[in-house]
Amino acid sequence: MLFIVIAFLVISLLFYVLFGGADFGAGIIEIFAGKRHYQTISKAIAPVWEANHIWLILVVVILFMGFPLIYADMSRYLHIPLLALLVGIVLRGCAFTFRHYDAIKDQSQDWYTFIFRISSLFTPLFLGMVAGGMLVGRMPVTMADGSFYSLFIAPWFNLFCLAVGVFTVCLFAFLAAVYLIGEARSEEETHTFVRAARNSNIALVLAGGLVFATAAWEGLPLVSLFINSAGAIAALVLATLSLPLLWVALVRKHVVASRLLAGFQTLLVLGAWFWVEYPVALRYENGKALTLFEAAAPAATQQQLALALIVGSLLILPSLYYLLRTFKKPVRV
């Protein structure tokens, strides 16, 4: 049952990046694309932005019930970026709701738009910094000795975590740009989103290199971990080889092919990361690591959680499919 729970955890993270991440990325694209694409972006994410947070809720529930030690240490040492992440999610949701449904009578729409865009940018940044803080190896083993900075700032406020945050921002913007190509209402909008997809894809590759460089700077042997993992190398090679295919699909404006290739690349990158780290979930400053197996709840809890996840997925997944089928227009091939 433990492996079923781990599988649900990994799949939930992947789906949150692919779907929820694209919602955040739409706000980032809006910053650079300008106000003239406001209606297209709002229409694209309005039916699904709330539903996509279910994957993040699943991640939190699985960690809380299935891996309480991981949940406890994350909540303790990473509570500042986690709070910033939560605030960003709330601000972004409120701002989007008000600007989408509120009567336009004054300049309040400009404030809603500003909050929506800024929170779309800093929320994935802090999400990436949380992910980096889990693995960089700056977490203290105990709270017995240490200053506020060493306990609650140093674990996540460093170059590596910032690089992972920037990578997350670029990834979300890239996914959003690719998805929005199929939502464009004119050739001019299509060209804008294609250009945004190409630019964010370049930024994503550069940000990936920055992650490896800062990992070496912070003493995390990320390069050696990848080199010594055949699966991770294979995933990165496939992701690299798929880049020309993606660019051809973007140039030719093949919506379905572009979306599938973008999702495929995301799956490979995240899969490579998981491959080299598994089963480690948290790294501490003395070289100690907490694995998923060590942090797992008792077998009885894992069994109940696995059954609940299986039954819940049978109810949720058809509903999400129906939601997308109902509210999303067919893509243009």
Query: For all residues of the chain together, what is the average pLDDT?
Result: 90
What is the reported pLDDT for 103? 60
What is the reported pLDDT for 83? 97
Q: Is 219 left (phi over 0), alpha (psi -120 to 50) or beta?
A: left
| Res. 48 pLDDT band, cuts 50 70 90 | confident
| Res. 329 pLDDT band, cuts 50 70 90 | low
Give the whole-angstrom CA distance, residue 89 versus residue 93: 6
| Res. 328 pLDDT band, cuts 50 70 90 | low
- DSSP character at residue 100: H
| Res. 333 pLDDT band, cuts 50 70 90 | very low
Residues 78 and 156: beta-carbon distance below 8 Å: yes
- DSSP character at residue 18: I
Q: In the predicted model, is pLDDT for residue 245 greater than 90?
A: yes
DSSP 56-89: HHHHHHHHHHH-HHHHHHHHHHSHHHHHHHHHHH
37-46, 100-109, 154-163, 253-262: least confidently modelled range? 100-109
Burial label for 219, CB within 10 Å (0-12, 13-18, 19+), is exposed
| Res. 105 pLDDT band, cuts 50 70 90 | low
pLDDT tens figures, 190-213: 999 999 999 999 999 999 999 999
* Count of beta carbons in the 10 Å neighbourhood of residue 145: 9
The larger pLDDT score, comparing residue 320 to residue 126, is at: 126
Q: In the predicted model, is pLDDT for residue 152 greater than 70?
A: yes
* Cα–Cα nearest to 134, from 155, 148, 119, 105: 155
Give the whole-angstrom CA distance, residue 92 versus residue 204: 23
Give the whole-angstrom CA distance, residue 10 versus residue 234: 19
Q: In the predicted model, is pLDDT for residue 64 greater than 70?
A: yes
Q: Which helix (H) or strand (E) holds 282?
A: strand 280-283
